[in-house]
Amino acid sequence: MQVNSRRGDLAVAVVLLALAVFFLWGGWHMPAGTFSVPGPGIVPMILSTLLAATALALIVKELFGGARRAGVPVSFGVAPVAIVFAALTGVAVALEYAGFIATLSVFLFVMLRVFSRLGTWRAALLAVVITCAAAWFFDSLLGVSLPRGLW
Amino acid sequence: MDVIHYLQQGFAVALAPSNLLYCLIGVLWGTVVGVLPGLGPLAGMALLLPLTYKLDPASAIIMLSGIFYGAMYGGSTTSILLRIPGEAASIVTCIDGYEMAKQGRAGPALVVAAVGSFIGGTVSIVGLMLFAPPLAKAMLQVGPAAEFALMLLALIVMSVISSSSTLKTLTMILLGLLLATIGLDPLSGFARYTFGSLHFADGFNFVAMALGLFGISEILLNFEQIGSLKPTIKPTLRSLVPQWTDLKASAAPIARGTVIGFLFGFVPGISHVISTFVSYAVEKKLSAHPEEFGHGAIAGVAGPETANNATTGSTLIPLLVLGIPAIPATAILLSAMMIHGVEPGPQLIAEHPQVFWGLIASMYIGNLMLLVLNLPLVGVFVNLLRIPYVYLAPVVLLICVVGIYSVTAEPLDIFVMAAFGVLGYVLRKFDFDIAPLLLSVVLGDRMEVSLRRALVISNGDYGIFLQGAFSQVFVGAIVLLALLQLAAWLIGVRKKALREGT
């Protein structure tokens, strides 16, 4: 997928503006204190206002700044990003229930199947071997406590 | 005399057999992560962080620092032999280093890079050893107002020198500072943006953020460029011996690179990268044959490689003396020190002399190890690149998961790492510099505490930021930088108007 850099900048700036508004709203509900005894809300309020201002400046710059600047196409590897993000999220969810070896074996299998040209059985074998080796190295040798799962 | 006495104690710590082993592991792993694209010193340190939990603080810091400066060495090997910069600071070395390799002069390029790195690194440690203690003593006088001004100055310097536009960098700094407010308020204990969850009481896990922004995003970027490896140029052992003319031509660039690197090490942000570009530009300017640059000039390898390594000592000064990490990699070192109960700052040298002087002594030893080991092991390091990235990346992701989980035993941090990985990927795609974002997260907490303490002390009088010599110097520097930026912007606008008028 290709996105124009100018549109990308604009999208990032809009997200940052939304984030600034969210933080501003949160800060508004915190005790602000006084200038001599500043409360927990004052710094988030100042920072979110400044972030909103810079995000707005970025938006104005992209919309009206260099009208002749066309921007450059930026390629996005949406599929690899989505796969890695989904796989890591899956690990976060399953790790404590299924345990380290089962979860990370599946994770590695998915990664190897998707990104390498290994066949199903080879990828599965390699995933299990690497995960068991990692579990032995970190858990048994280095004493890092890894989750064993519910069984 | 004090320095020599303390250094002797430092060597007693560093020369203990176990610490020698940890130093060796650190520098070797550092070289490996420096060689492999996508694994810089930051990821390298974060990945080995769990290994240090059972070590005493001095051993842990010795090993992690070894990774930091070892990575600076590693990057040059692949830059010269494959034109693949293992890490950002080796990009410049690709230009003339690879040209030299193509001309059959890979050996001299590698030797000059290694010797320059050794000299730059060693002189930088001498600087760290001599400047850090008096600076720490001076910084004990610094109050919260001056501390706030100093950190603000660091962030403004970052916005000025960043590779991205000033506006984009300022946005990243503000975002980082805002993210740092998540969690319990450091002064009142009020929960901010936690939505009643205990998971974020301490804010986002810094290691998860760092690994996501730098490690995961780099892997995602590399997945797009999976292609065949360029043919490796394999130097023979005999070809490693440089000629007298090579050494003569490299001596002055090495000396200049040492000074440039050491000075730029203090600059927050991407000092080690900038120092290499500055060194290259200086060498080209001073050369009697500037036309040779880009076609295999040995000065184009010697200067930048020396500068790159000469930043290591001076980059550690703000961290050890002020507790302010100048670059993202030293921010991980800061986290590691905090985990081990060692708080960097003006009190560090007095409270943990075995850590500070042990680290200094180990850096001398580590640099020597790198010089002795790196050249014979060139072939091994280059062969690491033969492992297809499609196999390497999943294993690195697995180690990242273990590394993060071992810090807090909290699976949510794996999700945080993944989310920041995607954020880092998107931001880097659109040329937003992520180093200021991460450093702002580190500094945010302390900046807020300093600001609020200063206001409490002065009873709300902002004049406190102009009281005292330190505050005045820091605020003066901030004003000067702002004026310079404004002048540069006005000149740019005027030039543009003139261009459009003609």
Q: What is the mean pLDDT of residues B68-78?
A: 82
Q: What is the pLDDT of residue B407?
A: 75
pLDDT digits 0-9 by tens, A27-37: 999 998 887 88
Query: Rounded to an integer, what distance in angstroms lies between the CA atom of residue A81 and that of residue B421?
Result: 9
Query: Rounded to an integer, what distance in angstroms lies between the CA atom of residue B252 and that of residue B258?
Result: 10
Query: Rounded to an integer, what distance in angstroms lies between the CA atom of residue B346 and that of residue B93?
Result: 36
pLDDT-derived band at A127 (thresholds 50, 70, 90) equals very high
pTM over 0.80: yes
Task: Say if the Cβ atoms of B185 and A40 lie within 8 Å.
Answer: yes
pLDDT-derived band at B34 (thresholds 50, 70, 90) equals confident
Q: Where are the alpha helices (DSSP H) in B140-264?
A: 144-161, 166-179, 206-210, 217-223, 244-264
Query: Rounded to an integer, what distance in angstroms lies between the CA atom of residue B192 and that of residue B189?
Result: 9
Q: Which chain B residues have a beta carbon less than 8 Å from that of A74?
A: 429-430
pLDDT-derived band at B228 (thresholds 50, 70, 90) equals very low
| B193 contact A CB<8A | yes
Selected residue with higher pLDDT from B201 and B177: B177
A37 CA: distance to closest CA in chain B (Å):
5
Which residue does chain B place closest to A50, by CA atoms? B174
Coil vs helix vs strand at B184: strand
Task: Say if the Cβ atoms of B455 and A50 lie within 8 Å.
Answer: no
Q: What is the pLDDT of residue B479?
A: 92
Q: What is the pLDDT of residue A111?
A: 92
- Are B203 and B192 within 8 A, CB to CB? no
Q: Is the pLDDT of residue B82 over 50?
A: yes
pLDDT digits 0-9 by tens, B267-322: 776 667 778 888 888 888 888 888 888 888 888 889 999 998 888 888 888 888 88
Which helix (H) or strand (E) element contains residue A32? none
A151 CA: distance to closest CA in chain B (Å):
18
pLDDT-derived band at B38 (thresholds 50, 70, 90) equals low
Q: Is the pLDDT of residue B230 over 60?
A: no
Name the residue among B170, B465, B268, B202 with its Cα closest to residue A47: B170
Q: Which chain A residues have a beta carbon less than 8 Å from that of B51?
A: 142
| The one-letter amino acid at B121 | G
B195-223 burial, b at 16+ Cβ within 10 Å, e below that, comes to: eeeeebeebbbbbbbbbbbbbbbbbbbbb
| B387 contact A CB<8A | no
Task: Say if the Cβ atoms of A88 and B417 lie within 8 Å.
Answer: yes
Q: Which residue has the tokens 């830059």?
A: B79
Query: Rounded to an integer, what distance in angstroms lies between the CA atom of residue B22 and that of residue B289?
Result: 44
Q: What is the pLDDT of residue B200?
A: 84
Complex prediction ipTM: 0.93
Q: Is the pLDDT of residue B229 over 50?
A: no
By mean pLDDT, which of A133-137, B61-65, B105-109, B362-366 is the weakest?
Answer: B105-109
Q: What percent of chain A has pLDDT over 70?
A: 96
Q: What is the mean pLDDT of residues B197-213?
A: 85
**Contacts for A32-38: CB closer than 8 Å, 24+ residues apart:** A34/B460, A35/B455, A35/B460, A36/B455, A36/B456, A36/B458, A36/B459, A36/B460, A37/B455, A37/B456, A37/B460, A38/B451, A38/B452, A38/B455, A38/B456
pLDDT-derived band at A19 (thresholds 50, 70, 90) equals very high
Query: Rounded to an integer, what distance in angstroms lies between the CA atom of residue B154 and that of residue B478?
Result: 9
Name, in order, each residue with C-beta under 8 angstroms of A54's C-beta and a sequence gap of 6 or more. A16, B167, B170, B171, B174
Task: Say if the Cβ atoms of B171 and A13 lie within 8 Å.
Answer: yes
pLDDT digits 0-9 by tens, A30-64: 998 887 888 999 999 999 999 999 999 999 988 88
B132 CA: distance to closest CA in chain A (Å):
32
Q: What is the mean pLDDT of residues B213-223?
A: 84
Task: Say if the Cβ atoms of B418 and A89 lie within 8 Å.
Answer: yes
| The one-letter amino acid at A130 | I
Q: Which residue has the tokens 């810094």?
A: B206
Chain mean pLDDT for chain B: 84
Q: What is the pLDDT of residue B73?
A: 82
Q: What is the pLDDT of residue B42?
A: 80
* Angle value at C-alpha B33, between B234 and B162, nearest 5 degrees: 110
Q: Where are the alpha helices (DSSP H) in B318-388?
A: 328-339, 348-351, 353-374, 378-384
pLDDT-derived band at B369 (thresholds 50, 70, 90) equals very high
| B398 contact A CB<8A | yes
Q: What is the pLDDT of residue B236?
A: 61
Selected residue with higher pLDDT from B97 and B424: B424
| B170 contact A CB<8A | yes
- Are B153 and B477 within 8 A, CB to CB? yes
Task: Say if the Cβ atoms of A111 and B394 lie within 8 Å.
Answer: yes
Query: Rounded to an integer, what distance in angstroms lies between the CA atom of residue B300 and that of residue B295?
Result: 10
pLDDT-derived band at B205 (thresholds 50, 70, 90) equals confident
pLDDT-derived band at B265 (thresholds 50, 70, 90) equals confident
**Backbone region of residue B409 per phi and psi (left: phi > 0; alpha: psi in -120 to 50; beta: other values):** left
Q: How many CB pairs under 8 A join A and B?
A: 173
Q: What is the mean pLDDT of residues B185-199?
A: 87
Name the residue among B29, B87, B45 with its Cα closest to residue B332: B45
